[in-house]
Structure 1
Amino acid sequence: MLYGYRWDGEKFNLVPKEAEVIRYCFRNFLDGKSAETTAEELSKWSIKGLTGKPISPSSIRAILKQEKYTGNSLLQKTYTDFITKKKIKNEGELPMYWAENTHPKIIDLDIFEKVQEEIKRRRELDPLANWSINTSCFTSKIHCSCERNYQRNQRNNRAKADGKYTWWMCASQREGKRKGCLNPGIEEGLLKGICA
């Protein structure tokens, strides 16, 4: 199932209220707002995703990259391994095909392409250039051997004077996708001490 559409067994049908949310996400992004800001706004208006939960920033980022909202489809983005029966992301192993006008469009193709260019531009800027991301002096500076960056984590801790325990850990581990990465987290106080 895809947010904005419902499959009736034969074709995708537009869900008008959800389609308006999709358009809002694209408009906001081109107006310079982050996925985090858009998610906060949608949450304030009690707008939910397909699961009935608030739409997360990662879901908004996925919406912004979904070409199906243009009414077209990029086919064979994934394929199934015939031995393991697992779905695998197609990273050039097989050809992909562009099919036009496969279902009703929500946004124009030129808007979608502008958003893709803006995503690329913001990625090249570095997180420190994005005012909506909560950054610190260590953001994008600690790199793991698995080629991911370390990310800041915070938990409540009554034993600490400020009531918080802060450490940095590999993004793969934080997302629960260890992929063989076993590097330990680093306590922020230790990092500050070493850098001082």
Structure 2
Amino acid sequence: MPNIRCSALMTSTIASAVLVVFPAAAHADTTSFNMRIINKMDGSRMSLSGDAVAEGTRAVTLRAPTIQHRSARWTIVEKDDGFLVIRNEVAGRCLQPASGAPNAGDTLVVKTCDGSPLQDWSRRDEVSETNVNTEWGSLRPRTNTSLAITLQTYEASGTWDHIYLDQDQNSSDRLWHFTRPDAVVW
């Protein structure tokens, strides 16, 4: 049931009351621009393969600091239902599993942002042994939250990694952090 905000207005000298009903403000989506998505295991940053922007381009991570892709910039939208949409700023496309029914082993690609559940992600925070949020977390597809974005084996002489979906667990190859480009990540 929607929240309702009521206001009573007094009109004329007879002081008759008029009840005006306004719908309560809905929770607005929260958007963060120009973000980097960093992996905990090797400090690599999520980007698009070959810095391409086409429909279906595969997501990768870059380890070599000398490789500077324009496509390493992301917009993170936290929707009012708590799910995240991860949009590549250069491609203007959203991150999603390559298949329509995510399974372990599926690659990640960018596709036209269409509001589908395939483009929604949840973030499960990692907490320390003393129950403190470490600011790292797994990114899980809405349509199968038992999976998480995971680094694959090192590729191309150690300069970049493929990423894919695998079982969600607290291992550094599955933990990610959103940060600004000028921030120091610990």
TM-score, with length taken from structure 2: 0.20
Q: Which has the larger radius of gyration?
A: 2
Normalized per residue, the structure richer in strand is 2
The structure showing larger relative contact order (alpha-carbon pairs under 8 Å, at least 6 residues apart) is 2
User: TM-score scaled to structure 1, two decimals?
Assistant: 0.20
